[in-house]
Amino acid sequence: MKISEILNVQGVKIGLTAIKKEDVLKELVDALANVIDIGDPKSIVKALLERENLGSTGIGQGIAIPHGKTDKVEKLTAVLGISKSGVNFDALDGEPVYIFFLLVAPKDCAGPHLKALAQISRLLRDTYFCMLIRKCKTPEEVYNLIKTEEDRKQ
């Protein structure tokens, strides 16, 4: 599975304005609504917050991978948000988060959901790559950077 297959340019938001966890999730879900029809976004935000209550998806090193399952989507979909100032997201290392990869899957989509989480984690493990993402000025730049990196690693 490639991240570039579940993420598209419309799902990349540079310059997140939120400074609180719940507001970041709302902003990411708004970006998701630009990509696919999600009906009422509040139910997806609720599912994401329930997942966050189990433990923060802020994995450290400036990265968070909020994710959840909902009957509001028909296929696995990702959006990516970049905060220039960083957000306190209760990350495991206590540091601010700059890169948010939101992953939303249908309730019956366990396998692909887990594969996508693993793939995102592998992709963002490279600190130089993350620095390049943070320096991107347009959604197209971000998407092309991810696609190029995925193609390079195959």
113 is catalytic: no
**Mean residue pLDDT across the chain:** 92
Burial 77-98 (b: 16+ CB within 10 A, else e): bbbbbbbeebbebebeeeeebb
Query: Which homologous superfamily does the CATH classification assign to the domain defined by 3-152?
Result: Mannitol-specific EII; Chain A (3.40.930.10)
Rounded mean pLDDT of 26-41?
91
Q: What is the pTM of this model?
A: 0.93
pLDDT value of position 5: 92
- Pairing mode, strands 97-105 and 63-64: parallel
The predicted-structure confidence for 104-129, as pLDDT tens digits, reads as follows 988 887 788 888 888 899 899 999 99
> 154 or 18, which is more confident?
18
Looking at 26, 67, 72, 113, which residue is catalytic?
A: 67
Strands, DSSP E only, in 9-96? 12-14, 58-60, 63-64, 67-69, 77-87
pLDDT in tens, 56-109: 999 999 999 999 888 888 889 999 999 999 999 999 999 999 999 999 988 887
Mean pLDDT calculated for residue range 32-59? 91
